[in-house]
Amino acid sequence: MRDLRRADNGSSLFANRWIVSALPPILVFLLMVCLWQWTVEFWKLKPIVLPSPAAVWKAATEKESVLIKGMLATGAAAGLGLVSSVVIGSILAILFSQFRWLRLSIYPYVIFLQTVPIVAIAPLLIIWSGNNLRTIVIIATIISVFPIIANVTAGLLAIDRNWIDLFRMHGASRWQSLAKLRIPAAIPHLLVGMRISSGLAVIGAIIGEFFVGNATSYDGLGSLMTQWQSQQRTAHLFAALVASTLLGIAFFLIVHLLGRTVFRRWTMAVDLESYDP
C-alpha cells in the first residue's frame, strides 16, 4: 500500500515538475502569438509586410508535406554537419589538450572558423566541391564546429590539480590520464558545445541550401525559403521559418536526450534545468 502511494506520489511529482518546467515557455509562446496577432491587426499590416499567425498556420497546413520533406532534407544535412563537427572538433580538441605547441600555434586560426564570412566563401566551396549534399554539410560543419572545439578543449584542460596528482601518484600514463580522466571530465563540456552547435548546424544547412540548391530529391527549407521569398509568399516563408525553428528545437532536444541517456554517467553533475541558485 505504502509502495503504491509512493509510486502515486512519484508520478504526480513528475507531472508537477513537467508542468512547472513546461508552463513558462508555453505561456511566453502564447503571449508572443497574441502580441504578433495584435501587431498585425493594430497596424493593419498586409500579409506581404507581416502575415498574421493565422495566415502562417494556414500556409503551413497547405504545404504540410512539402515542409515535412524540407525538414527531412535540411535535417539530414544539418545532422551530418553536426556529427562532422563533433568528430572533427573533438579530435582537434584532444590534440590541443595533448600538445601545447599545437594549441598555441593553431588555436588562433581556429577562431577564424568563427569569423569566416560563409556567404563570401560559399560560391568558392561550390566550385571546389560541387552543387551537392557534401558542400551543404561542409558549410554546416564550418559554422557549427567552433563551439565544440572551444568547449571540449576547455573541458580537457580544466581538470582539478588534485586529480592529476592522484593519477600521477598511481603511475598513470599520459594516455591513461586522457582516457580515464580528461575525456570523461570533458563530456559535459562537449554536450554544452553540442547544444550550441545543434542550432548552428541547422542555420549552416539552410545557408548551404541558399547557395547549393537542392542536394536531395526534395527541396530543403533553405530552397523553399528562397522560392517563397521570390514569389512574395510571406506567410509561406514564415511557415518555413517556423519549420526551421522546430528543426533546431528537435536537434537541441536530441542532444539533451543524449545527455540524459548515453552520457548520463558523466553528466549527472551538470543539470541545466534543475539548477536554481
For residue 245, the minimal CB distance to other proteins (Å) is 20
DSSP state of 1: -
User: Which CB sits closer to other proteins, 5 or 44?
Assistant: 44
Q: Is 216 in the site for other proteins (CB under 8 A)?
A: no
116-155 positions binding other proteins, by CB under 8 A: 123, 127, 131
For residue 47, the minimal CB distance to other proteins (Å) is 5
Please give the torsion angle defined by the CA atoms of residues 89, 73, 221 and 71, in that order, rounded to the nearest 10 degrees: -90
For residue 62, the minimal CB distance to other proteins (Å) is 11
Q: Is 45 in the site for other proteins (CB under 8 A)?
A: yes
* CB-neighbour burial class of residue 100 (10 A; exposed 0-12, middle 13-18, buried 19+): exposed
**What residues contact residue 167 under an 8 Å CB cut-off, 6+ apart?**
176, 177, 180, 181
User: Which CB sits closer to other proteins, 24 or 108?
Assistant: 24
Please give the torsion angle defined by the CA atoms of residues 252, 258, 263 and 265, in that order, rounded to the nearest 10 degrees: 100
**Per-residue binding letters, 5-34, with other proteins (x by CB under 8 A):** ---------------x--xx--xx--x---
For cell 513558462, the residue is: 24
For residue 208, the minimal CB distance to other proteins (Å) is 11
Cell numbers that stand for 205 in this block: 544547412
CB 239 within 8 Å of CB 56: yes
Among 36, 107, 210, 252, binds other proteins (CB under 8 A): 210
User: Which CB sits closer to other proteins, 117 or 123?
Assistant: 123
Cell numbers that stand for 237 in this block: 516563408
User: Which CB sits closer to other proteins, 41 or 165?
Assistant: 41
Q: Is 238 in the site for other proteins (CB under 8 A)?
A: no
Cα separation of 89 and 251, whole Å? 18
Give me the residues that bind other proteins (CB under 8 A), please.
20, 23-24, 27-28, 31, 35, 38-39, 42-49, 123, 127, 131, 210-214, 223, 226-235
